Structure 1
Amino acid sequence: MHLKKLALSLALAGIALPAAHATDGYFQPGFSVKANGMGGVGIALPQDALAAATNPAGMALIGNRVDGGLSLFRPNREAKINGTTYSGNDQQNFIIPEIGANYMINPTMSAGVSLYGNGGMNSGYSNIGGSMTGLANGAGVDLQQMFISPSFAWRVTPTQTIGVAVNLVHQTFRANGLGAFSMASQSPSNLTDNGHDSSNGVGVRIGWIGELAPGFSLGATYQPKTHMSKFSKYSGLFADNGSFDIPANYGIGFAWKTGPLTVAGDVERILYSDVSAIGNTSTTFLQNPLGAPNGPGFGWKNITVVKLGVAYAIDQALTVRAGWNHSDNPVTSQNVFFNTIAPGVIKDHLTLGMTYAVSNTMEVSADYIHAFKSDVTGNLAPPPYGPGGTEDLSMSQNTLGVSVGWKF
């Protein structure tokens, strides 16, 4: 019966999963409503069946349960070019689903699966054609990444737990309005306006959680670079003939529980610069064609993300949460123009959350995330290659999520 419920849940989620638009670069700040209520923490604090997305070791510590949720995400993207502001919000509202299930094989081992959006990016500028930058009206991108992560976790000793998740990854991408740059591409017919293309890959995440003292735990997790098949329809845009791998990332975290209070924190490192399409500088596109081996990219640098959260159990039914998430800005001033269509410039988030236990087996959670407006300013190419002057790229965001958890 449990397996039938799990299969149905995954099928429904797979049908419904759209882009997951994220804010730590293009990664999500956290991977469940509960985690996001505490700033996205989760490396040493598993709270639900989405734990494998952050640290698969946590799945052995949450018991038998199924979790599912939806978040309404509303970003505001803008590009101010030589004093004129252009909105990148052709689509402004997005629904982000999450679902996971975990089954305890025995008191020390678990098998589970988590389905979630790892991250993504969307932009659309319906009126940017008059900016003199070469971007046409409707210019923008749509990147979506979906992970299905079967996991196994083992509590090796009463205080030491390890876990592994196999990440089955499907991503799609579309670019529009870049036709003016066809002369800078190795394959102009595979640069823009080709609809959505898809790419697949398989990766892994490993993790550890250790209880070092009563109520105090540390955790660590690592996900190597996930090699993806190429976007053939965009082999004239992304470096290395359409390659768009998922960056390696790793982190450490702590959790401290005393009475009704829980305090947790994570430090995460995301290695964007190791993926050519993301990390290569855009400043060489006039000398090195778009799409070429080691060709131009978005010029994103590696970032460090710091997450801190608190939770307080007011009574047996109600728990409230708050958190803060701060990341470096991966976009540099030298690469501002290329990132008009990928404005991943957010740095700070403030989060709130709660869980209410409806019964011994069912709970409802909610969260709210505000990503404060952040911007980057850089110079535009002078004539005849561009309009000259400056561009200021900015973004702010709001997210409201609800999830339901069942224990069995």
Structure 2
Amino acid sequence: MSPKFARLSAAVVSATSLFTAVSANATNGYFIEGTGPKAQAMAGVGIALPQDALAAANNPAGTALVGDRLDIGMTWFSPDRSAKIRGNQAGADGSYDGNDKSGFVIPELGYTRTLSPSLSYGVAVYGNGGMNTGYASNPFAAFGSSGAAGVDLSQLFITPSLAYRPTPDHAFGIAATFAVQRFEAKGLQAFDNPYVSASAGNVTNRGHDTSHGWGIKLGWIGRLHENLSFGLTWSSEIETGDFDRYRGLFADGGGFDIPESYGAGLSWNATQNLTLAADWQRILYSDTGSVGNSLALLFAGKPLGADGGPGFGWQDVDVTKLGAAYRLNDALTLRAGISHAEQPIPATEVFINILAPGVIEDHMSLGADWNTSIGEFTVSYTHAFENTVQGTNSIPATFGGGEAELRMDQDILRFGWSRAF
């Protein structure tokens, strides 16, 4: 084994080990907004604008365009989530704080290498998304639950990529993505009985469980004009196997596959120093039963955990991102971006989503790169603006009726270091 490959292997193992100890609350539903500190500083833009060795997470064709480099990043993620219940005849009315844990650390690592003028390879290790809530005061206590309530979902992606650049103006990429998920649910005893679940005893307080699986990514980036590039990317659904310990909670016996997504992007070098970019992404949450199926199925005779059983009722979303990078001088580049995501949680599905209040829609990012003799340092700050979803016919009569409300905002601070070889 070469010394360079040994160092890379050790770094990947270290990053993978670190991921087992963290959880995240992502922003576009439960998908992370952007991968890599440079992309995050531009609100996640990256489909047609690869900038670092984590480019394959956004578009595997980017591996051909970033050169030989190592990128390491670290994110401090701080979500603020809460829920309210009103008009409930079972006595659940109140305000509930979901911030039992309020800060999370998310690492990432990327490495790319050029094999020839037309062929490059790389590996990216990153968190794709997740969801965490912790309610010390249990919103479901009036229905028979006890103790603190909440869920803890984290996802790790390892994406080796291969990119082919047949001409200077076009690059094509393919990547195999290995995904690992970790999940735990607490305080859901109200749903853990034979009348509600197809597998009572496997709904809540079963500790952490893991699942894993493989998917693929495809991508293309083409220069359409001297200063204008266009990109396309697609990520397959990842069948990750079942969370067996929670086969009475998730549809299809504990299934929780990672949804398919695809997107397009533009990058324009408006001047010698100013680059503008835009991405559009679509995430197909509704194709994953545990995420997309409605809770209403429970009252149509489909218990939790059954084949085709109830889920969180999330709908597909479109995400639009706009970003800018301005090179102030050879040492300093300034970055900024805004993004908007459609709302994944319908007003009728708010009750069950007290556990997963992914209601954020709008983000703003600022950041900068500082080039030094020991590498390039990147810092970014993103604010996810507060958003509230008011329930409409959201609490079934079986649970006493009334309405639930979800609220969330987030702050994201990201640091990165990179070195070109």
Which of the five TM-score ranges fits, normalised by the shorter chain?
Answer: over 0.9
Distance 1:135 1:351 in 2: 40
Kept after mapping to 1: 8 A contact 2:24/2:132: no
AA partner of residue 78 (structure 1): S
For the pair 1:243 / 2:255, whether they are aligned, the reply is yes
AA partner of residue 26 (structure 1): Y
Alignment partner, residue 162 of structure 1: 172
Among 329, 345, 351, the residue aligned to 1:315: 329
Deviates more, 1:133-142 or 1:159-168: 133-142
Aligned residue for 2:297, secondary structure, equals coil
For the pair 1:60 / 2:72, whether they are aligned, the reply is no
Alignment partner, residue 24 of structure 2: 20
Q: How does 1:194-209 map to 2 (within 5 A)?
A: 194-209=206-221
For the pair 1:374 / 2:387, whether they are aligned, the reply is yes
Alignment partner, residue 109 of structure 2: 99
**Structure 2: 5+ residue runs without aligned partners?**
87-92
The offset of 1:133, in angstroms, is: 4.7
Distance 1:33 1:325 in 2: 16
Q: How does 1:299-338 map to 2 (within 5 A)?
A: 299-338=313-352
The offset of 1:108, in angstroms, is: 2.1
Distance 1:292 1:131 in 2: 24
Distance 1:312 1:134 in 2: 56
AA partner of residue 55 (structure 1): N
Aligned residue for 2:360, secondary structure, equals coil
Aligned residue for 2:201, secondary structure, equals helix
Q: How does 1:39-188 map to 2 (within 5 A)?
A: 39-82=43-86, 84-128=94-138, 132-183=142-193, 184-188=196-200
Distance 1:5 1:131 in 2: 51
Alignment partner, residue 346 of structure 1: 360
For the pair 1:273 / 2:286, whether they are aligned, the reply is yes
Aligned residue for 1:188, secondary structure, equals coil
Among 15, 21, 37, the residue aligned to 1:33: 37
The offset of 1:12, in angstroms, is: 1.1
Kept after mapping to 1: 8 A contact 2:221/2:232: yes
The offset of 1:202, in angstroms, is: 0.5
Among 308, 311, 315, the residue aligned to 1:294: 308
The offset of 1:2, in angstroms, is: 2.2
AA partner of residue 314 (structure 2): W
Aligned residue for 2:101, secondary structure, equals coil
The offset of 1:135, in angstroms, is: 4.6
Question: Scaled by the length of structure 2, what TM-score is found?
Answer: 0.94
Distance 2:335 2:321 in 1: 13
CA gap of 1:130–1:144, structure 2 versus 1, over 3 A, is: closer
The offset of 1:229, in angstroms, is: 0.9
The offset of 1:134, in angstroms, is: 4.6
Kept after mapping to 1: 8 A contact 2:96/2:139: no
Alignment partner, residue 370 of structure 2: 356
AA partner of residue 373 (structure 1): E
**Structure 1: 5+ residue runs without aligned partners?**
none
Distance 1:265 1:49 in 2: 20
AA partner of residue 364 (structure 1): F
How many pairs align? 406
Aligned residue for 1:190, secondary structure, equals coil
The offset of 1:377, in angstroms, is: 1.2
Distance 1:268 1:372 in 2: 20
Kept after mapping to 1: 8 A contact 2:43/2:363: yes
Aligned residue for 1:29, secondary structure, equals coil
Alignment partner, residue 211 of structure 1: 223
Deviates more, 1:390-399 or 1:280-289: 280-289
The offset of 1:382, in angstroms, is: 5.6
The offset of 1:129, in angstroms, is: 5.2
Runs of 4+ in 1 over 3 A off after TM superposition: 133-137, 379-383
Alignment partner, residue 232 of structure 1: 244
Among 9, 12, 36, the residue aligned to 1:10: 12
CA gap of 1:137–1:387, structure 2 versus 1, over 3 A, is: farther
AA partner of residue 21 (structure 1): N
CA gap of 1:299–1:109, structure 2 versus 1, over 3 A, is: same
Deviation track 1:191-220 (CA, whole Å, cap 9, x = no partner) reads: 111001110101000000000111210000
Kept after mapping to 2: 8 A contact 1:269/1:304: yes
Aligned residue for 1:284, secondary structure, equals helix
Distance 1:131 1:76 in 2: 22
Distance 2:58 2:144 in 1: 40
